Amino acid sequence: MGMMSAADPPAPRTVTAGPGDAGQRIDNFLARHLKGVPKTRIYRALRKGEVRVNGHRTRPHYHLVDGDRVRIPPIRYRVAGEPPVVPVKLLDQVPVLFEDGHILVVDKPAGLAVHGGSGMEFGLVEALRQLRPDLDFLELVHRLDRETSGCLMLALGRPALVALQRQLAERRGIRKHYLALVKGVPSGGGAVTVDRPLRQIRGRDGKKQVIVDAGGQQATTVFRIRRAFADTALLDAELLSGRMHQARVHAAHMGHPVAGDRLYGDDGFNARMQGLGLGRLFLHAERLRIHHPDSGLRQDFFAPLPAALESVLSGQ
């Protein structure tokens, strides 16, 4: 879908929330109806009172009720033809693993954020909304770090989104497995469970970081050795919760930081891995299992390890 020019801004309009919109946050609702508009601009419209629900100002965390009348303001944004922040060649590298009208599963490449923000106007979601104007609804079910590749699932309808997020919250149906190359080889040879709460903080540079802290949110990761080398190991990391940077922080906490991790890793180890050709974080969402939100049947999705990471393993 082409974007309107600054000379021809969209007119204000009122949209009535239906049963399928009930429970959705107003910021996500606006993002769906203002395709291509950066979230930062949407939040500014909410703060300035440009958006009205039933004639009143509202906040980003407001959850819609069936029958709410939402005034969507005219918003000027990128003129048609201007290049998006996300390179087209990178978007061409996003394979679709599965699509059926309820869910869309893609193999996200490393280096591509899942959504705009933190200085990036466009991410995978915004780009997909432009490339797939036939999709009336497209929302993330879960997230991956910008530096992480692999299985990423999006919902193509509100009922699917609610059902899948319930599976995540209740820890049933959904299983997520990552591959991580780490420093050293965990002892014992079996499964190592790290059950440590995680808390978000702001680093010295103002960016979000995560630490192990008793006052944080509960988080559990099960690590299993997939392949052991002389002084590194390829681990299967099963996330039993979905906290920010969870696998990376838990791996570092048990003394085996992930290769290429500039935030929680080991500088000397990272330099050595870079010498073997590693130019990114060695963390890949390899497998994703769900109970389908419509049929209830179990489905498994698989994203093969990128060739660049396979090459690093061959040098171990």
Q: Which residues are the active-site residues?
A: 145
Q: Tell me the HSE value of 215 on the side-chain side, using a 13 A CA sphere.
A: 2
Give me the amino acid identity at 251.
A
**Residues near 220 by beta carbon (within 8 Å), at least 6 away in sequence:** 193, 194, 195, 239, 240, 241
Largest CA distance in the chain: 66
Beta bridge partners of 53: 56, 70
